[in-house]
Structure 1
């Protein structure tokens, strides 16, 4: 148009517009009417002239209009135009794979053919479509004796099967995995799509400016404000204390707890929110000086992400806040990708290398490490009145512990204490002691420390549920007090024998996050960092990242049900405890899960589950990338034989449409850990070109990728 439509420039014409419009009113009808400018349903309460004025002068909110149509029950969307311009946005806005999205015309195809095909597509998607009205003469009886050749009958309906007997819980009923950082595939830059990136500086220093310069220098990106961005990168505040107690205070003393106002920086086009931390992850086993506050901020960021289902919340960890140009460029490439947990580290040759966090499962558990007589000489358990602490105490007593000290703020129920010592010679003490109080802990250590603890089991901790808007520094400090500062004080104040074994009870919440559990996730992530610090000092310390325990009581009932919907299942205490008494080389994740649900959860968080290598020294069966891609493409197109796919043919010619393209992206992300943009898949790319776009260009990498998942046991 040659006038400034949808702007305030036309405001002065409002009176003239009202005068020229006919005297009409909106009336309620059987069909809902949604205005694209209003982004809402138009009812009889809407003034006729007001509607046309808003349509002429206001910004079009197509996204809200689509959402309003869905609220009205719409599941079929038809763009009436000579050539489609809204189909791609519709595919992104309509988060329902069962929805039907078609156009009416295309400049390169005959209008009658295309419109007929799309009308048929809409009709066939409607199970109640009156086909009899479309058949001349109505539905006629079928041909006598038809078909004239024998047909192969295939029964497609499931039949009821008896419930399988529930097998007794064993160690194989749970999954034990570790975080595994793998070199990331080099991103493809040949798709031609531009990525709009906003850098939100939540810290001081030059890091934000260097990243902004890198975005501007990238031919596939442009710098925009947050409300216009596809990707928002938030620079985490410079909280660099290595002492965990000081790190907790750093976060707790900030009014914003170190996190941005997400609602204010997420615009209508935003698909990903990244938090850029510095030295917040232990990518290599020999990584030193992991910064606890940076790890905690990342854990909180992941947890807040569950409140924003339309965006992916990712973390990108930097080697330092002082990045050079190649590292900044690698950061920009990572921001454009599909993974959500990444890190950049030096490659040893002066350049950067990008890593993606995956999970590797122990296929065969390491050797068991039961509690021997030396370990059971003087057992100290924090959180001694809790379910997990008492279960460990019972196990130690039953296996001949000489002394067990149960430390808790409120003491242990005398009846439970009596049960522990029935027909046993173990000396059990349960003093009231706040392990976050140095003076109180020193008094308890002087009275009960003896020759030093031979086994320290740290189960103390609490969990609170807070949404981002409600989260305060006091919440973070309260949740971190016993779990993080408490263990730090125990290691500093309580006497420990030279061979003392420390088991620190952490949680998978620290690794994956949890809805409303930002503070709890932060406390567990900082506990993981503290465990690594204690190991670096020569102590035998392992952080056990637990899933759900049956009857543990740490998580409230409502949140427990929400967590179980993600796929986690409560472990039997005996099974969980048995899995903790193993010689681990790294901090394990120990959980029971519904495999299918958990995989869906991991994929929803853009966590690759196909790149990890089993930690038993073996390797998963490897398949060439071409075979993996053809297999996933055949599954998407419902082809029985991947060998029928001609790699020289474009995906469009093979039958890929916008909805199938979304399905293919998900499949590729699961199978090879990366994918290609929808615009590239629908832009005429051939199968061979897709394979090349996914193939890593690093000469040190092979062109074969693992095609099996992490093998989670149900």
Structure 2
């Protein structure tokens, strides 16, 4: 990335053993979604890969090279949520290979999938990270296979190649299939839910229909279960509602995966930084509930259900003149109060003959009048 130092290195190549090949493998990571990038984070990631590649391109312009290969990443081609700067750096090397190819110079960018060997950029990958990679459908490339792929790639006259080992069955089960790979798998029917991804419609309907306390518990269980899956825990029970996601090992990549899973489960549009903005399962589940809107049974539905019940009771009750008069009086009072919600000035929404008819009505007639008042189909 330091052009002056690199120029000194190249000047030191002995004339009797001239430079004939460049293989640029440098890179660094600073995972973050696009909205969390800073100039410093972008500089650190792009300098190692993009600046280094550009300096090599310029400083070897007069060399008689047979090979100019750059290690890129499938993250730039397919997209890797939570690695905005890294995606950009790799895409730059892919574009540089295309430029060199257009200029008649050797140039190959290899957008690698993950390798099995650990070390360098992958030395900090843990079991949860490996599991996350597996859920994308990408399988590790053995070192011997990687070397064979490099040899095969350099024999091809194409500027950008994507050497990646894909498991299409694993890819089909991924929570978010990259658009470029969707043609490789048979799409699941949207109405069928997997254990990892709850059915969206039934889940949101259930949350909205539950009483507030039960809905809060169900939303919390959803967040805990999905969080446990992302970080490799056996079940959501291992995650306390007050545990900070950062303390559980969440980083930018796993945070975005959890966001994607919750979006798939609920249909909500959540920002990429939602896990850090709402840093516990309790806080995140409350956000899910807030975004879904009011929870609990619809009060209007309860009222109509009670009215249906009252209708059944009245139909079965024997006629009693005194009881019928009291019933009519109370029903008239209720209707008057409900009418005022439509006519706050106190005016009546009904003609006078309606009140007269209600006063003189029997139980069966009352039911018909109520049906007519509510716009419901009357019984024969």
Normalised by the shorter chain, which TM-score bucket? 0.3 to 0.5
Larger Rg: 2
* Structure (1/2) with the larger helix percentage: 2
